[in-house]
Structure 1
Amino acid sequence: IVREQMLKTLKVPNTGMAITLDLGEANDIHPKDKQGVGKRLALWALAKVYNQKNVVPSGPLPDGYEIAGEEVVLSFRHAAGLKANGEELKGFAIAGADQKWLTAKARIDGDQVIVWHPDIKQPKAVRYAWADNPDANLVNGAGLPASPFRTDSK
């Protein structure tokens, strides 16, 4: 819920967020790698405050979704060069109308991610990195991690 509220603050002008999923500790909400956090906040400031066009300000942020048959197509901001950090893409869950969450299959298609599960014929919602200590690996071309999100928020 905390991460979801952080995403909502991005609607306020001149606010930013450093996504630190990969810098955190499983047993502590405060990452020990303070320099990593500071560098990510500096990227946002360079891009948004100082208008440096060649700086990627953030990892991928959710920017909408479309249900296409048995798949959900996710769109992102700051998505150039999406990749799975050299591994199989992980961290996605999907549910149908029954709201039973299953670990989803996912693939990258350009700047979008396609999510599905063979047992869910009519998907209704997707979540990414939606756990206290998620095992998730979606990053953009700058190597910055994607923000946790869910499409079923109210």
Structure 2
Amino acid sequence: MITIYTDGAAKGNPGNGGYGTILQYKQHEKELSEGFRLTTNNRMELLAVIKGLEAIKVEGIPVKIYSDSKYVVDAVTKGWLWGWHKKGFKGKKNEDLWRRYIPLHNKYKPQFHWVKGHAGHPENERCDQLAVNAAESGQLQIDKGYENGQV
């Protein structure tokens, strides 16, 4: 089982933001994070999931994702994403990231689990710390999807 923990943060929403992701497989653990100069919390929550899935190097291993984002978890588990996709994402935000997510979902078929944020869950707290630190770092990248108006 590959377990992925994720969190996103944005100061100002929109504002500078970041994501934090932890991947765990057997005794191995990897942390990922990046900061962006102008983005939203929901974009960072979704990007954290995408980056975690993109970091997987082997197929065929079950994947569980733990996120405190109702937006991301509900979009997938309640099937909203597939309705949005069928309608060409008309009127929906973050189309660029959802289109990036869909092939990853089809490849890994992850199971999503919602966790309450800021409730003492160790990996969620660590992901939050990674996301906030990235958002506050001096090395902020451009969220091209957001800044180019593709949301």
Q: Normalising by structure 1, report the TM-score.
A: 0.23
Question: Does 1 or 2 have the higher relative contact order (CA < 8 Å, sep 6+)?
Answer: 2
Structure with more helix by fraction = 2
Larger Rg: 1
Q: Normalising by structure 2, report the TM-score.
A: 0.23
Structure with more strand by fraction = 2
